[in-house]
Chain A
Amino acid sequence: MKVENMIVHKEQMTCRERIHATARGLPVDRVPVMYWLNPHEVCRMMVEMQPGRNLYWNWLAHFLWGKFSRGGRFNAPNLWRALPFLLSDYGNGEYALELGADIAIISHLATNSNVGRMYWRDHQLKVLDMFGIYRSLGNGIYWDVETPAIKTVEELKEYRFPDFTDDKHYAGIKKMRKAYPGACIAVEALSVQDMPSTQMLGMAPFMMALYDNPVELKHFMQRLRDWSIDMIRRGVKAGVDTVMICDDYGYTGRTLISMDMWKEFTYPHLKRIIEAIHDAGALAMLHSCGFQTPFLDYYVEAGLDVLQAFQPKAGNDFPSAYEKYGDRLAFATGIDIQMGEQMSPQEMRESILRNYQVGKLHRRHILATTHMLQYTMPAENLSVMFETVREIQAGLHG
């Protein structure tokens, strides 16, 4: 399985220009592309599909994929499930660009890369992150929350966010900007709903706090928003083009909380973050999982530039949403990696081409994976996926 020379036609715009034009509905030389890759999948792709140009990362990917896959993947020792995370930023940055993506994603401002302390306990590698959250891999491949940072109302009131004011935290962005002046650099940032609910308090305590401690929770969310905005400003100053706000509002066919509650607790902060991103001179992209349709009016009202994911399995209908909102909101979607694992290669190809055709209607479409591409994607589907996107980029499908 080799996919070579991903970008095959003569391009007239830089990736950065292409993304900015798409966000504004202006003409582009071709549809922009966004890949979001799980680090284990990065290792696999570098071994089985397309090596990276950087020899060190190539060597590391080969070594780690060998340890992970020969170790039985989920059954591999803790260390070999953990170390592929070293390739997170490389995989979604330089390597994604080499694959033909227009956006390089840096996870810097989100949680996963902010390791405070690593330690070994109960035969497991564990992490205490900079937010005060204890994490472990368990039997899986993600640094999931073992103990949240906030367990009481008092802790909610007194919580102090980590200090990210030092320039050293933004060095990676500056380095990337310098190395890839024409690339669109996106950085993940936090908003106020997903981070507290899935990481800092835990889902059930957060949900019940909406009723039990609304005043304290609102105050906490406001502090989180201001902290996030400060980081965003520093990130944009360092060279970020697009801020990828990570905040999940839905799940399969439903919103997590009622629209009234979302409008009361979450929306004002999302709107303020988008304003701050624009004031800083960057584009605002929202990554939000699950059912999104009820939020679209509000995203448009808030001035959001790009909505990423829009997973079909969660009940989102891209053609109808794009027809209604595509003149005001760009959608980064169309490569259905969630259902793609269960499709035949031909179905996968047809699905991408169908969404590409839909996206042409308003010029506000970024052809993107609907979440992180995982190592469980069948090799044939993976190959077809990249070939189809390459054909689109080459202009073979109009």
Chain B
Amino acid sequence: MSILTDICELLQQGRTSQVRALIQQALKEGLSPDKILNEGLLAGMDIIGEKFKNDELFIPEVLISARAMNAGIEMLKPHLMAAGVSSKGTAVIGTIKGDLHDIGKNLVKMMIESKGMTVIDLGVDVPPQKFYEAAQENHADIVCLSALLTTTMYEMKNVVKIFVANNKRDGVKIMVGGAPITHEFCAAIGADCYAPDAVSAAEAALAFCSSGMVRN
């Protein structure tokens, strides 16, 4: 009990090496990897997400906590696989073609990962075809598109078009976000969801997967 609380607390402080050490200890003590993941790491990131949403924490705090979470997940990965623990869903994420801004995309990625989902990060300046190919290859439930510029946001429409053209639109939810994006724009290009911030993006992603609104 207390070791999981400690992992949760230290993760929130971004103390990567101490999180690693405690996970090692927890595994030695026989705690199951999914318990460490859910009640230690993801519980900690949940609190971070909530505080971020409430403007109690900001990007630097999210980044150092996510670094600790990722380090912990890396340690747990072989144990989780051996125990047959599966992800709650898969999202493909990237900043749209022509746009190299990545902080918004990275925040969304971290928040979705903190919900226990797998995220395939395609990086920045991603052509529409690459989103489609990555979604097919990874059997993604969700495709997340980010844009900061008004000049690049129109590329999002081309991603939707590719899924439609290949008759794969029903199998995936397309989420959009970024400074110039609005609900109206989202509807106009035929995407499924506009997320105004990283936390609501992650909540929407988890809701899509949990509700069976996407394949799985």
**Chain A contact residues, CB within 8 Å of chain B:** 38, 74, 138-142, 144-145, 203-204, 207-208, 210-212, 251-258, 261, 290, 313-314, 337-339, 341-342, 374-377
Contacts and interface: CB of A to CB of B under 8 A. Distances in A.
Given A207-B60, A261-B58, A261-B60, A139 B151 contact: no
A143 B64 CA distance: 28
11 contacts: A138-B125, A204-B63, A208-B64, A210-B60, A252-B197, A254-B55, A257-B59, A313-B180, A314-B179, A341-B180, A374-B151
B129 to A, nearest CB: 12
Contacts of A256: 58-59
Contact of B103 (A145, A204, A211, A338): A204
Contact of A74 (B67, B98, B102, B124): B98
A74 to B, nearest CB: 5
Given A207-B60, A208-B64, A375-B151, A140 B98 contact: yes
Given A139-B97, A252-B196, A374-B149, A203 B185 contact: no
B179 A144 contact: no
Contacts of B171: none
Contacts of B67: 208
Interface residues of B, number: 34
Interface in B34-65: 55, 57-61, 63-64
Those 6 A-B pairs whose CB atoms lie nearest each other, nearest first: A140-B98, A144-B100, A138-B125, A207-B60, A203-B103, A139-B97
Given A139-B98, A375-B151, 5 more contacts: A207-B59, A254-B58, A258-B61, A342-B185, A374-B151
Given A144-B100, A338-B179, A208 B60 contact: yes
B113 interface: no
A140 B98 CA distance: 3
B125 A208 contact: no
A253 B106 contact: no
Given A342-B185, A374-B151, A138 B98 contact: yes
Interface in B146-167: 149-152, 154-155
Contacts of B102: 203
A382 to B, nearest CB: 13
A377 B127 CA distance: 22
A178 B147 CA distance: 41
B64 A338 contact: no
A272 B182 CA distance: 38
B100 A253 contact: no
Interface in B111-167: 124-125, 127, 149-152, 154-155
B125 A207 contact: no
Given A139-B125, A251-B104, A342 B184 contact: yes
B150 A376 contact: yes
Nearest to A211: B64
